[in-house]
Amino acid sequence: MTTFNLVVQSPALASDLIEQAAALSEASGVQRISTTAARLLAVDASPASRTELSAWGERVSVDTAYIPAGSRLTDCKVLAMDMDSTLINIECIDEIAAFGGVKEQVASITEAAMRGEIKDFSDSLTRRVAFLKGLSVDVLQAVYDQKLRLNPGAEQLISTAHQAGIKVLLVSGGFTFFTEKLKVRLSLDAAHANVLGHDNGLLTGKVNGTILDAQGKADTLSAFAQACGAQANQIIAIGDGANDLKMLGLAGYSVAYRAKPVVRAQANYALNIAGLDGVLNWFES
């Protein structure tokens, strides 16, 4: 029978919160990981207890994660991440659209697609990209320079993963202009995204080639994991929108980061409060 520990995290993880979690989970002991995280040992991991702890965590703004005792980061082989609103703080297409005065129209489609209300991602992307026709390609660099920021903990997560021998994949329904820059900046092992069409310095309003949709993201991760010799329980995958669900379904450590409800409901883990480096606290040294 697997023994589970419970990792609790919050920027303001006071002792009373740890004590509450320990009591609710019937923990046999407590290890302070840092000022923002603690590991509760040999907890009750029954469905009823998990449901109760999850509801408690939402009420008091604490992330909770049930992790098999003895899990180590070095046991994993692949870290796969979505880009927009996961690795980075923006939806790039929305910010590109802002330069053309059509952000509201594009963002409303983006939001519906990420919530899962628009089932056909390829159609939603085609509709959104059409709004960009005629914009200067220089807008892409402006978005990268002025708007794009890494989400909290991103660099720490990726650098630590690399130190543990993990291969890192960025797979995005966004655009190669941004993924290629991030690949170099963060020394990623691979990056895949869509190619935004342009001609004579202007965006064409079309995507070149096959659109990388939800199935495409899953297929990309599957091939990457196979090349790395990784089984499901050796894969960490992080995303926020409905377009990530098929990819997340391939990972033992499927993580919903600041995610839409449809993603949080299906992922094995969630980071609603902690930064991306919160993943690191799940593993024992």
Residues acting as catalytic residues: 82, 84
- ∠ CA 88-89-90, rounded to 5°: 100
Phi, psi at residue 9, to the nearest 5°? -140, 140
The helix (H) or strand (E) run that includes residue 58 is helix 47-60
CA distance 238 to 255: 5
Query: Residues 186, 276: contact at Cβ < 8 Å?
Result: no
Query: Residues 4, 45: contact at Cβ < 8 Å?
Result: yes
Residue 95 CA, distance from chain mean position: 19
Residue 9: name the closest of 272, 284, 285 by CA: 272
The helix (H) or strand (E) run that includes residue 266 is helix 261-266
Tokens matching residue 4: 């589970």
Residue 106: name the closest of 134, 120, 119, 125 by CA: 125
Tokens matching residue 68: 């098999």
> What is each CA distance from 269 to 52, 72, 152, 169, 228, in whole angstroms?
15, 16, 18, 19, 23
| SS3 call for 101 | coil
